[in-house]
Structure formats: C-alpha cells, structure tokens
Structure 1
C-alpha cells in the first residue's frame, strides 16, 4: 500500500482474547467521549480513557451489509464484491475466523452479521450447508453462538427464531412478538402503535427493558463466556440498536428531551442545484421526514435513549470481565458499521459519504503493558474498517497475510511505535438497488460511487456525473460542494488520480504473498530454463555475473 510502512512485528507480546463490539447505526459524534453535549455514555467513555480513540475512522461502505463484509474480511468492497445488503459474500473470501482459527482462537458471533451466504457457490463446490464448513461460510466465518439480524414486521409472522422464542417464553404472545411487543408502543387506551411510525418514537416499547434486544444480546454473550473454557476467543457482540425502528423501552424512552437535540447540520444552499444523486436522496421519504424539526425532536431523543441503554449493557458486559478476572487479558474494540444522517444535510438514514454517515467511532483497548503509553489518547490517523482484521491477527500472535488483507494493523498505533501511515481512506457505495437508479435513468452496473478523503479534501466520484468535493478544513460541516468550483480543478484531478491508482491495484491476487514472489525471482534459470541465450559462452558469462533469470 503506497505510503504505508510494514507493521511493527509482534515481538513476543502476550496473546489476548478479543471482545469485538459493534453497534449498528451509531454516529461517531453521539458519545460523551466524542463530544456530544448531553448524551450519557459513561462506560464507553471509560473505555476511551483506557485505550486509544481513533477520531478519523471510516467504513468501506456506508450501508450495513457491505460495510460488515469489509470489517469481517479486511478487504475493500471493490475486492470482496458484496456491494449491497443481500449480495452474497463469495464463497472463496477469507474472513476473520479463517485468519484466527489457525492461531488457535475461537471466533464466535453473538448478534448481527448481515451476512448473505453464497449458496450457489457452496452448491457448485459440493459443500453441505449443515457441515461445519458450510455453517461457517453461511455465517461470515463465525461460529454462530447467536445469529440475530432483527426480524421483519410481516414475513416473520409465526416464525420461530431465538429472539421470537425468547419473547414467547416470557409471555409476549402474538404471531410476531418482535414487531408487536419489542418494536411497538401502546396508548393509554390499549391501542397498538407501530414503532415503524416515527410519531410514536417517544413512547416506551411494550416490553420490559430486560426483554429488549440489547439486554438479551448481552445476556447471551455472557452465556457464551461462561462456557468458553480456556481456549483463546474472539467474541463478536454485535448489537442491532440504535438502528431503526427507533423504539426504546422505559426508562430510556424519556431519558432525553427535545432540548437535548443538537441543531441540524444543513444549509439551504445544499438544496440549490445539488449533485443529482445527493438531490435524489434528499427527496426520499425518510429524508423528507427527518428534515422536519418535529420529527427530529421526536426521533433523536429515542435514538439517544437507545445509545444510553447500550452503554449500560456494555457496562454489564465489562463488569462480567472484571468479576471473572478477564479484563486484563482482553482486547476490547468498539465501533459501528455506519452512522445516521438524522436530518443533517436534509437527509435521513445513511448511504452517502458525509461524516455523519461514513465516519464511525472506534475505540481500541489493548490491555498489554506495551500499550500503556497511549492510554487515553486520541489518534487523528486515517483509519479504515479493514484495519481491524490484521489488528486482531497480530493481537492473537500471528502475522497478517497482506496478500489477502488490504487493511493495516493498528498495533503500532496502540504501542506508540507507528511510522508513516496511509494518506487517504476509501469508501464505496452501489445504488443499483435503489430507486435513484431509475430516477436518474442509470443502467445497472453503472451506479457506482466512491469516496476518497485525504484528511482535508473529500471527493465523491459518481460514475456518469460530476464529482462532489468538500474542504473539511475550511468547511468541517460539509455544507459547500466544490465539485464544480473552477478554483479546485487541480484538487479534484489530484484526488481522482489517487482514486484511479487505487482502482488499478491488484485486488484479487490473494493466493501468493509478495515474499513468495520475491523468492521465486530467477526461477527459470534455477529450473534449467535458459531463454534468449545464443550459445554456451553467453550462458556461462551470465552465470559468472550472477544473472539468475530473465
């Protein structure tokens, strides 16, 4: 990777267990430690005080499935090919478990993965989905202690799933208790109110706090740790909330009020001749809704309450590690798969590249003494989601396979030994599956977006359209699009050159390392293959001069 030096090697540091916490749709700026003025997240803030908070961490795609596939493979979306929710991860892609299991580490899922298995690829290769290999391929390489991606309001009626079964066992009846209890509210007269309707976000969920998805997932994670034994483990605890539906249980539903809602980051100029794709996304129903102040004042307090609930549950998980003496032998990583616009830039949901969507919180706590000098610090290094797999490999005592992995280990940053680092980050998005493709009359396969950010300028390349450009030094809120500004022609050309160089790199040569390529140099003559020599004298002269190949 240009601009990156080799990682600091693992020089005999003790191996650690890994607690990999992912919070779905958590914005980078909705934590106390990242500067939110009123939100209460003391447990997450305490993690930041014990580790390194990476302040400029970006996902490889600002949508659940592709982002997670990059987190779990250590590879760009361009490389692994799972470009949208429900697009299968190709059967041959190595994942976190493939890298960690050879090092003796169990790699276990508790919660959401958003994995779509490559059933056609498994059938082609004759892999039984019920076999151990087949199950791991179906779960993005994890051993699934608990797989829970959330339910659906209609098609899950009457379906038995672990969480539905749990709710039924607690007396929450109905054909779909997830929809009718965990993500629904109730008026004083007993009228059922769907959590999908934003108007009811301030009302409490119909279930008790301890029976909602976040505490239930925490309990199941602790259940795994109770029986994990002595083998090293990487436990991925992946929470669904605060992803919509924005419904919080008591007492979290009214923990915050409209006074806690920070003003939206938006300007009227953003609606004046916007980039065609940005303009189309502003027109979507969710964007129109979240652009209304009364909607924000209703939804955001619930969103914040769900985050505080998560913080309390993370505190419960950390207390378990303390009580069992495991905190000092466990690397703890907390991040998110993407953010949430929440009305900023006249947008709802995620999917484009403003910081509120593509930038995520990332806290890494390395318990080993080598990390003592960096505790409580904030790093401004440009970090990508794909950096976590090589970090975990090195923490487990291995050396990352960089012929496969496109990220870079963060161990050097954690141990205060990191040399020169990357000078840009990349994120991608495929809107083939969205109505924007039809609105803009774009052919399938051409709906590609790519973002490159060099620490100051952020450029979005849109196939078939002009770029977007923001100068985050002069315009940190990303309100002024310089994509057509004649004063920034050179900046746009420079970033496009970098982006094109990235596209031209090898993304699929994963079966052989650079070291092996170097070892094979001169292989023809070593095998007795002499191409291009005229006679024996010329061959002898070449050998005397130490020439080893073509």
Structure 2
C-alpha cells in the first residue's frame, strides 16, 4: 500500500523548552512517546519562534508571517482583518482547518465592524478565530480577581469540570490549578511555594487529558462523516504556569532532578539596560531566590511527563485506527521558559531557553522513509510550518504572503536550494512595566534578534547598544559582547542583515512575484496606451490600427 500523508495533526504545547525532552538531551526527564515520534520522523534541533511571547508567536505560526508583517506584536494585540491565515490557505487547497485548544487570538472587532462582518456567519467566525473552524477553543487562563475574569469568554473546561461534579464556582482555579493546604484550604498554583503539592483534581480530569480526549472525539467525528482531508491544531495549555500538576506526576521528580542553573554573576555586572529591567521584574527576582527552582521545576517536569503520557494515549489510538498511515504529526511549542536561567523567569527575551523550541515532524509518506530518526540542524523558523502544510496540501506556496519555507524537502531527504543564513525573532515590549521604567515611547520599545550558528545579535531600538553572543565559544550565552569594540565588524554584518530583512516587500500581499514577472512581458501598446512615441509610423499597423482608424 502506498503511504501518503492526507491529514495534519499540528500539536503545540505552551511554554515547553526545547531541551526538556529526553530526545533533546534532558538526563532525567523521560519522554518515550515523543522520543518514539522523533524516531519515526525528523527532529529539527535549531527551530526558533518569531517572538518569545504567546500571542505574537502564535500569530506568526498561524499566518506564516513575521511579527513585523502581521502586526499582532504582543498578547491580546488583535490580528487585523485581512491577514490571510493558515486556514484560508488550506481551504483553498481542499483541506479543512480545525482548532482544539488555545490560540491566544484577539479579534479585530473594530475592523470587522467597519466592514460589516458578523461573527454569526461562517466567514465572520473564521475571521474571529484566526482562520480556524472551532471544534473547541479554550485558552486555559481562567484566572479571576477583584475585577472579574482575565478571559471574558465562556470556559468550556470549567463547564466540563462542573459536569464531572466539581462544585467550585471556578474549578479551573480552585481544582485543576490548586492543591489543598494543611488546613484544607485552597493552595493556589499561582503561588510558587505550592508547586510541589498535587493539584486537587483527578488526573484524568486535568487539562492535558481532557484536550487529548477532545482530539480523539474530533477525529472520530471526521471519520464518521467521511470528511475530506483535515488539519487539526491541537493546542495544549500546559506546561505553561500555574506550575502545579495532579498526582502521580507531582512527586515523580525532585530537587535532585533539577539541572544546574545557567547564569553567572558576570551577567549582573553592567548589564544591557533592557536586559537589566527584565532581570529585575518580579518573576526574575523570584526565580533568583534560593529554593524556588527546586520547588517549581519538578512540577514543570511532571507537567511534561503527563503530556508525554497523553501523547502515548493519542498515538496508540491513531495507530489502532489507521491514522498513523495517513496523518502528518507535528509537535512544537510557542516559546520556552527561562526557569531561572540568566536570572530570568517566564520568557520575553532571546536566550535559547526562551526563543528556541522543540520541533518534531513525522510524515508517514514513503518519500520520508530515508530520513526517519534523523536530526536536522538547519536554521528553522516557526513560520516554516505554514509553508510546509500548504506544500503538503498541494500547489505552490504563495511566497509573497507566507514568509516561511516548506520543510518537506528536509523530510524527504533533499537539500533545499539556498536555505536561510539566519533566523529572526522580534519582541514589542511597549505595553510592559519595563518599557515604562526605561522611559520609552511605545514606538521605541522593540527588540529584534538575528541569529546564525555562530552568533546571536539583538538590536534594541530606543538608542541602546546591541547585544551580541558568540555561540561557538559561549554556547550558554553568558557573555554579552555588544559593547566590545573588537566585535564591530560582526555587529555591522548583522546591522546590514537587519536592514536587508526590514526592506523585504512584506506588505505586498495582493500581487505575487509571478504576476509581476508576467507584467514585464506585456506591452501597454497592446491595450492602446502609447507613452513617449513621437511618430505612429514607427509602430506596426496592427498595433495602432484601432487607435488611428476613423470609426
């Protein structure tokens, strides 16, 4: 039987570091199911996201475009009406595009109102949901405080938990992401001292198993309806904070399994002003306290272990139902997590723990047999997935819209011509306290990272010097050379690259390069336009006939 990928299962974890899988080298975190998928496919070792913040990164995944192009540069910045999404591209090629889980998409309601687009129709619903048809959307942040909920929409997960008998008004907050303290009260996972407690929920009812079950139900529905090819974006909420996990995963790992922190006192000596502000924020200060990493990281590892076990459940079900033969499976993350490295917590900046992500692609097609179990070290960007999916669905990738490049050649044992020399990531921190502390106008609070295999360069707008890391001699990125005059030549090279990248025609999305090339071959005279001609007798009669002939 000829094996060919017909469907795409696009799995994204939230805040999963590239080096927290056993197949990527973690010495004590055992992830056999993701390792097995890598053994059947290709693991890309140098994949970088286009922004180290949830919303901006995801909008690049879903459009195949740099943040500089789509403009949704931070969490809850709306993706403007008119951006062509992955779902739009795939449906043109006969493949449905579905969502299960998180997108962090904010709708451009003003743009929809201006154009008279209602969410009640199919088109409006897709515009409001980043191009996806929604099987289930749950962004997984149902925090609630004095001013109400962080997320104002309905919570499908809370509805599910209430249906399972959980009596709390907000069981996401009081059960799934909280333990029980010594007095029987709520030990909220928001507070890191509770990270070693088991979440007050049955393991099978927690977020990761729930979403896995939803994915299985979705595929069953597609099979029952004899649906055509589909792309399903299965977008998990974990291992994103709150860092708390149900039993038995809460104590599978201990402080002994926590890797040594990657940071140095030298990073605190005369640091770059932007870096200094992020080191000094609350999460950075907290992760720098003694004992915090030893509390939090075992829970983070437990969340990943639970996720891997759910991958085993999902992959076994796919295998039993024949879908491992017709479904491309992609596993990645929207960004990483500092976990105390470089005196930082969370994400935000461009050290590898934040901006570099795991990427595993399994293609069941026979063309991929020669690359199974291999590791590709090419410089890959998250926007390459949109190009890959469009390439798989059929037809040329519209490279005037999608700025990534298809990874199918790598999967099929081919070397793409003239692959990229560097990767780009961006961060607009204009809405943050750090920008306020630096006294920056919102237009100045922007960072641009360019990295190749040897160097990582960060341009900081607002009149600051750049940052520079020598990746060959300083792979842990501990020594910032941006102020070293001896590296002016390297900095100038990257400034030229940044200028080259910024000049690309990224907003010219309505006219393809092929169309422009064909226009060169045409002549205005063919449609009766003669510019600069002195004497009509210089032209063939059949060209000027309709212009000079009296009717």
What TM-score results when the alignment is normalised by the length of structure 1? 0.94
Query: d(CA) in 2 for partners of 1:533 and 1:189?
Result: 93
Offset at 1:160?
Answer: 4.8
C-alpha distance in 2 between matches for 1:239 and 1:153:
21
Q: Which residue of 2 aligns with 1:152?
A: 143
SS at match of 2:72: coil
Give the structure 1 partner of residue 516 of structure 2. 517
The question of 1:456 aligning with 2:459 is answered: no
Shift in Å, 1:505: 1.1
CA distance in structure 2 between the partners assigned to 1:127 and 1:392 by the alignment: 28
Shift of 1:538: 4.5
* Distance apart, 1:526 and its partner CA: 2.5
C-alpha separation in 2, matches of 1:359 and 1:115: 22
Q: What pairs with 1:74-223 in structure 2 (closer than 5 Å)?
A: 74-150=64-140, 151-154=142-145, 155-156=148-149, 160-223=154-217
**Equivalent pair of 2:12/2:334 in contact (CA under 8 Å):** yes
Question: What is aligned with 1:434?
Answer: 432
Q: What's the secondary structure of 2:46's corresponding residue?
A: strand
Quote the Cα distance in structure 1 between the aligned partners of 2:458 and 2:60. 19
Contact kept? 2:3, 2:325, Cα under 8 Å: no
Shift of 1:15: 4.7
Give the corresponding residue for 1:533. Answer: 533
1:36 equivalent in structure 2: 26
- Provide the residue aligned with 1:299 in structure 2: 296
Offset at 1:293?
3.4
Cα gap change, 1:492/1:159 in structure 2, threshold over 3 Å: closer, same or farther?
A: closer
Deviation at residue 153 of structure 1 after TM alignment? 2.9
Correspondence for 1:265: 262
2: CA distance, partners of 1:514 / 1:438: 42
> Which residue of structure 1 lines up, in the alignment, with residue 58 of structure 2?
68
1:498-527 CA distances to partner (integer Å, 9 max, x unpaired)? 011110111100011111111111332322
Q: Which of 257, 278, 281 is equivalent to 2:278?
A: 281
Once residues 456 and 374 of structure 2 are traced to their aligned partners in structure 1, the CA distance between those partners, rounded to angstroms, is 25
Residues 471, 159 of structure 1: CA spacing in aligned structure 2 closer, same or farther, 3 A cutoff?
A: closer
Pairing 1:343-354 to 2, within 5 Å after superposition: 343-354=340-351
CA shift for structure 1 position 442:
0.5
Q: Which residue of the partner structure matches residue 365 of structure 1?
A: 362
Give the conservation status (yes or no) of the 8 Å contact 1:336–1:360. Answer: yes
Secondary structure, aligned partner of 2:123: helix
Task: Give the alignment's Cα RMSD to 1 decimal.
Answer: 1.6
* Preserved contact between residue 156 and residue 176 of structure 1 (Cα < 8 Å): no
Summarize deviations over 1:121-159 as a string: whole Å, max 9, x none: 110110011111111111111111010101123324998
Task: Check 1:159–1:234 CA distance in 2 against 1; reply closer, same or farther (3 A cut).
Answer: closer
Q: Which residue of 1 aligns with 2:222?
A: 228
Corresponding residue to 1:401 among 398, 414, 419: 398
Equivalent position of 2:492 in the other structure? 493
Residue by residue, what CA displacement relative to the aligned partner does 1:2-23 show, whole Å, maximum 9, x if unpaired? xxxxxxxxxx994520000000
TM superposition shift of 1:104: 1.6
Task: Provide the rounded CA distance (Å) in 1 between the counterparts of 2:3 and 2:29.
Answer: 37
Would you say the 8 A contact 2:5–2:364 is kept in 1? no
CA contact (8 A) 2:331 2:360 kept: yes
Partner residue in 2 for 1:415:
412
- Who is 1:239 aligned against? 236
Q: Secondary structure at the match of 1:145?
A: strand
Distance 1:16 1:281 in 2: 44
Whether the 8 Å contact between 2:333 and 2:358 is mirrored in structure 1 is yes
CA distance in structure 1 between the aligned counterparts of 2:155 and 2:273, rounded to whole angstroms: 42
Equivalent pair of 1:44/1:311 in contact (CA under 8 Å): yes
> Would you say the 8 A contact 1:15–1:397 is kept in 2?
no
| Equivalence for 2:548 | none
Which sits farther off after the overlay, 135-144 or 333-342?
135-144
- Superposed CA deviations along residues 300-346 of structure 1, whole A, max 9, x for unmatched, are 00000000000011111111111101101110000000000000000
Per the alignment, residue 549 of structure 2 pairs with none
Secondary structure at 1:334 match in 2: strand
Q: Distance in 1 between matches of 2:186 and 2:465?
A: 47
- Distance (whole Å) between structure 1 residues aligned to residue 288 and residue 5 of structure 2: 48
Maintained 8 Å contact 1:159/1:176: no
What secondary structure does 2:378 align onto? strand
Q: List runs of 5+ in structure 2 lacking aligned partners.
A: 544-551
1:49 and 1:375 in contact (8 A); partners too: yes
User: 1:200-236 deviations in whole A, cap 9, x for unaligned?
Assistant: 0000000011111100001111111111133111111
Superimposed CA distance per residue, residues 431-466 of structure 1 (whole angstroms, 9 cap, x where no aligned partner): 101001111000121111100012211110000210
Partner of 1:7: none
> Partner of 2:222: helix, strand, or coil?
coil
Q: How far apart, CA to CA, are the structure 2 residues paired with 1:523 and 1:31? A: 59
**Matched residue count:** 531
**Inter-partner Cα distance in structure 1 for 2:466 and 2:59:** 26
Distance across 1 between alignment mates of 2:94 and 2:365 = 19
User: Residue 445 of structure 1: which of 443, 453, 461 is its match?
Assistant: 443
Cα deviation code 1:161-195 (max 9, x no counterpart): 21111111111112211101111110243122111
Moved more, 451-460 or 185-194: 185-194
The 3-state SS of whatever aligns with 2:502 is helix
